[in-house]
Amino acid sequence: MAGISEQDIQKVREATDIVQLFQDRYVLRQRGREFWCCCPFHEEKTPSCKIDPGTQRYYCFGCHESGDVFTFIMKTEDVDFPDAVRRLAERANIELHETGGKGVSRSYKERLRGVCEETRQFYHLQLMRSREAAADSARAYLSGRALGGEVPRKWQLGFAPGRGALVRHLLNKGYTPKEMIDANVAVERNGRAADRFYDRIMFPINDDRGETIAFGGRVVGQGEPKYLNSQTTPLFNKSTTLYGLDRAKGKITATGTAIVVEGYTDVIALHEAGISNAIATLGTALTTQHLRSISRHAAKRIVYLFDGDEAGQRATDRALQFIDESMTPEAGRRRVDLLACTLPDGLDPADFVGRRGAEALLTQIEGAQQLLEFGIDRHIARFDTSTPEGRTAAYADVIQILAPIKDSLLAKEYAKIIAFKLQLPENDVIERLDKLKPPRRYDARKLADGSPRGDSATPRGNVGNGSAPTEAGGRGTQDQKGTGQDQQDPSFGDFDAAPSGDNAPALRLSGPERSRRFYEAEFIGLCAHNPAIALEQATTLAQVDWRWRLHAKAADALLTALEADPACSAAALSAAITAAQPAADGVLARGSAEGRSPHLYAAYLAEELALGDLEAQVRAFNDQLRGGMLSEQDEAIVYQATSAMQKDLEARRAAHMQADAGLIH
């Protein structure tokens, strides 16, 4: 293959024993001349993966995964073939002699690594030596956060001056504009490469071997977005990369515990305080790929350490979406203990350790709750459980946390805890648990790469409403019956027909359906024209029960574009939506605030959509009560839940009408 010779590949193959490679990570059982283990690629209790020392191959009789030493590294470490060869060569202390064509001595990925390394050095030099006022401000900020002194040198922090300085530097070093853009340290503007980052404190993002593959930048002074990460590149994917893992992996291996925080400065502050098993995600919740990266370093206990402020609370809710079968006893040796801890007094980890010291923080970490218990307590606390209505509403909400693991013994135990906390019969709660449908998942790597999304989770509000997923990852409801395209208003674009099929005849919409369609289109159009509002309303975009697949696809495209680049322009958002759904032009023509505050108008529309979803849920519960198919106990529970929701709906609708009078009219 180009870059690495066949002779070198064969040397690496011969130097790597597949049995030892597996034994470094898994418990093997010998049967005759063969070895067996629980498959690394699917959940199982009885070993069905065979490792054959004679053929130097593995094969799983359960999921049929198979391959050699290179395939194993590619699949378990999410790398391509050349990188798998390089990692095994490093493991075997074999020096590779890579060649390319036309004078290129390294592979293209290595060229991009060279761009990132040269960029890191350039940014660091700017922070340490530049006399610009912005660089002075960057140094002052770091000092104010107790990140001065030796910290910038140890962590290779930098400053991005922008204004073409980096592009000129890299050109002088022999790198091409295409390489700079592909490494995402530059962007194309008016046909030329321009610096991507400017007036920002720069944090190099390394892979687990310590090589710089991307950057995160914090704005100096005021500005949005406050933090800006590199986009996905051939070297970097935020859904698989963890900041600080290269430095933390030794301590993680020694202690068996990884501490996950939200920001770069939190990681640095904790390491400087002696808590060197801290790592951070890069603007995402923890993913399966992150867990795989951590588990390579033997961590079986992962503690989420959340800020005590509002952003930290939102991160807590995101973490609850990660609950899955890996937390259950059925996961066996691959079980991961996920715990959570929210810091008091609204402090982030860096501030907490600075004010109260490492020992106080370690005490907080030792007191962390199991993530399931943490989530249950958090959700119950949202309701007034002193009343039957409050307890019933809390029950309808909190039981959904267990949906991803509904078939586990652990879920049954937590169902009993919920029953105790809410003073409900255990058997009723367990019976309701058995009826839950587990949420659909999507691949975070595909999402980060801009691929179509699936349903990330069933929304908590859809309990018992009989909703079903639609093609676009949106969710249909009983209200969709009879909906279709309204031929009288072509500005909305080509709306889907009734959910029975795209070829079903178009039906005229009722008044409420026309209003709902207007609000959906208006909200998406407003978000597409205002990226800052789209970021504020990302949760609403993800949770709305879209009645039309066109809107669901447009919302998914908008979210995907924002995840890929939180700083993208309105033009980029609109282009992403029309690329995913060409019929969305009519929707993009909507969303004019017409003299109103766009932020207030967006909040108004978001509440209107939420109220519409709640009304649909109340109607669905009433349909269940009228259907006469519920047991006496279930009927009482549904009746109480419906009553509580109806009261909540009436109060919110009254407040919303006041907002309507003040904003719309």
CB 175 within 8 A of CB 118: yes
H or E element: which one contains 336? none
Predicted TM-score (pTM) of the model is 0.57
pLDDT for 8-64, tens place per residue? 888 898 889 999 899 888 888 888 888 999 888 877 778 889 998 877 889 888 888
CB within 8 A of 108, min separation 6: which ones?
234
For residue 470, the one-letter residue type is T
Distances in Å between the Cα of 24 and the Cα atoms of 191, 298, 631 are 50, 10, 54
The model's confidence at residue 273, banded by pLDDT at 50, 70 and 90, is: very high
Of the two residues 523 and 565, the one the predictor is more confident about is 523
Residue 176 has pLDDT above 90, yes or no: yes
| CATH 3.90.980.10-classified regions of the chain | 108-229
Q: What residue type is assigned to position 222 of the chain?
A: Q
CA gap 422, 412 in Å, rounded: 15
Regarding the domain delimited by 243-442, which CATH topology (the fold level of the hierarchy) does it fall under? Dna Topoisomerase Vi A Subunit; Chain: A, domain 2 (3.40.1360)
- How many Cα atoms are found within 13 Å in the side-chain-facing hemisphere of 485? 18
Q: Range(s) for CATH 3.40.1360.10 in the chain? A: 243-442
Whether residue 518 contacts residue 551, with contact meaning beta carbons closer than 8 Å, is answered with no
b/e map of 214-244 (b: 16 or more CB within 10 Å)?
Answer: bbbbbbbeeeebebbbbbbbebbbbbbbbbb
Predicted pLDDT of residue 124: 97
From CA 289, how far away is CA 201, in angstroms rounded? 28
CATH of 6-91, one of 3.60.150.10, 3.40.1350.10, 3.90.580.10, 3.40.50.300: 3.90.580.10
Written as six digits, the tokens of 656 are 């919303």
Does the pLDDT of residue 183 top 90, yes or no?
yes
Q: Nearest 5°: CA angle at 412, between 410 and 414? A: 70
Length in residues, the chain: 665
Residue 665 scores a pLDDT above 70: no
Q: Sheet of 66-67: strands edge to edge?
A: 29-31, 34-37, 49-52, 57-60, 66-67
pLDDT (0 to 100) of residue 493: 37
Which residues are CB-contacts of 597 (< 8 A; sequence separation ≥ 6)?
none
Higher pLDDT, 283 or 356: 356
- At 568, the amino acid letter reads C
CATH of domain 108-229: 3.90.980.10
Question: Could you tell me if 555 and 524 are in contact, meaning their C-beta atoms sit under 8 angstroms apart?
Answer: yes
Helices assigned H by DSSP within 130-216? 133-144, 151-154, 165-172, 177-182
Portions of the chain given CATH number 3.90.580.10:
6-91
- At residue 583, does pLDDT exceed 70? yes
